[in-house]
Chain A
Amino acid sequence: MDLQLTDETLAELEQISESGDPPPWTAMVEGRDHSSGDSFIQVGRHDDRDEDMYVTRDSGPAQARDLDLIAAARNYLPVLVREVKRLRGLVHEEP
């Protein structure tokens, strides 16, 4: 898989990021982050929650590493897009 982060792709990622429920998303893993309940992704701040997200694969509920990846991707995608755009802006400004 040879992906290129073109300006068009960057714009697409920015649009995807902005259309989803905003961060923070928090992976809540039973036995690690809480007890007495399924592992899930908490969407939103503790005092401003949206619906919980339950991730399932063919074999059953997704593992902690999957939940961590999804939550991190949601939280850092806008940060990474901003950072790439900022750095590209600096490069273009150089004489």
Chain B
Amino acid sequence: MSAHLRNLGGITRVLYAITALLAGVLCCIAVGRVAATGVDGVLTGEPSLAVYSYDALAHNAVTRLVVEASSADTKQSTNARAGEVYDQLVSATGVATETAGGIADDVVLARGGANTADRFAAGSGVTTDSAGNLHQVSVNSGRTVEEAAQGIPHNQIGVSTAGDVRAAGGSVVRNPLPGNPGHCLVGGLTAETLSELFTPTIKNPCR
């Protein structure tokens, strides 16, 4: 009888161990899915899971972002930090253009106005990191200058390309807006570098 009980106790322990193991695996899967969804939403507002699979550096950056996002005081500060980390991630890993938001190097970028450094820094929603690089700079994109200039009300526009922005160390991310599907956000460059890329300005061909 006592041997039978000892056997039963052993079986119970094995069952406990298996149950705990399964629970652990399920928790890891759940946490991973929640983290991926959260980061993806914060970063771009649309799925781009390919970004996560690049290398250990990308993985570490995303992991850090998840931790920071979960402890951030406000959604705004989280989004600002997410933009910075995302720009660093894209630049550091050299993510191919088609996985960095589907923007090829020859895509034209346009921004209305004088495009001076102080006006880049004062742009709506623009944040500046500790290194002095701007993030969330609003630009339009298109296959041609005319296409990129659509909807820009200014008489003059600054023009560059996604490839030139990346070559200078910056990043370009799609950020479609209602009525403006070509809208993008540029980041990772100083106001002075952005101004050099987008000047001299030209006459807006759509005006």
**Interface residue? B162 (CB, 8 A):** no
- Find B157's partner among A31, A35, A37, A42 (CB 8 Å cutoff): A37
Question: Does chain B have a CB within 8 A of A28?
Answer: yes
Cross-chain contact B154 with A60 (CB below 8 angstroms): no
- B28 nearest CB across to chain A (Å): 41
Q: Evaluate whether A35 and B180 lie within 8 angstroms (CB atoms) in the complex, with A30-B123, A52-B154 already known.
A: yes
Question: When the two chains form their complex, are residues B156 and A52 in contact, meaning their CB atoms are under 8 A apart?
Answer: yes
B155 and A37 within 8 A (CB): no
B61 within 8 A of A: no
User: Which A-chain residue is minimally distant from B175 (CB atoms)?
Assistant: A35
Q: Is B45 an interface residue (CB 8 A)?
A: no
The docked-state distance in angstroms from the alpha carbon of A49 to that of B183 is 25
| A56 located at the interface, meaning its Cβ lies under 8 Å from any Cβ of chain B in the complex | yes
Q: Which of B5-13, B75-83, B105-113, B164-172 contacts A (4 or more CB under 8 A)?
A: B105-113
**A49, B121: Cα distance in complex, Å:** 27
Q: How far is the CA of A36 from the CA of B121 in the complex (A)?
A: 13
Pairwise interchain contact B183-A54, C-beta atoms closer than 8 A: no
Given A35-B138, A36-B110, A38-B112; A51-B155 close (CB under 8 Å)? yes
Contacts of B152 in A (CB 8 A): 34, 36-37
A30 touches B114 (CB 8 A): no
Residues on A with C-beta less than 8 A from B153 are: 28, 33-34, 37, 42
Chain A residues near B157 (CB-CB < 8 A): 37
- Of all chain A residues, which has the CB nearest B141? A36
* Cβ-based interface call for A25 (8 A): no
Instruction: Tell whether, in the assembled complex, residue A38 and residue B155 are in contact, meaning their CB atoms are under 8 Å apart.
Output: no
Question: How many B residues touch A, CB cutoff 8 Å?
Answer: 27
Is there an interface contact between A31 and B124, defined as CB atoms closer than 8 Å?
Answer: yes
Q: What residues on A are CB-neighbors of B177 within 8 Å?
A: 35
Q: Which one, A30, A49, A60, contacts B155 given CB within 8 A?
A: A49
Would you call B139 an interface residue if the criterion is a C-beta within 8 Å of the partner chain's C-beta atoms? Answer: yes
B112 — which chain A residues lie within 8 A by C-beta? Answer: 34, 36-38
Minimum Cβ distance to chain A for residue B160 (Å) = 12
- In whole angstroms, what is the CA distance A33 to B153 when docked? 10
Cβ of B204 to closest chain A Cβ, rounded Å: 10
Shortest distance in angstroms between A33's beta carbon and chain B's nearest beta carbon? 8
Contact mask for chain A residues 49-65; partner B; CB cutoff 8 A; 1 contact, 0 none: 10110101000110000
Contacts of A61 in B (CB 8 A): 118-119, 122
Chain B CB within 10 Å, residue with most, of A34, A36, A42, A54: A36
Q: Which residues of B contact A32 (CB under 8 A)?
A: 124
New A-B pairs, 8, CB < 8 Å, besides A37-B138, A49-B207, A54-B113: A28-B154, A30-B124, A35-B124, A36-B111, A36-B151, A37-B152, A52-B113, A56-B118
5 closest A-B pairs by CB: A37-B112, A38-B113, A31-B124, A30-B124, A36-B140
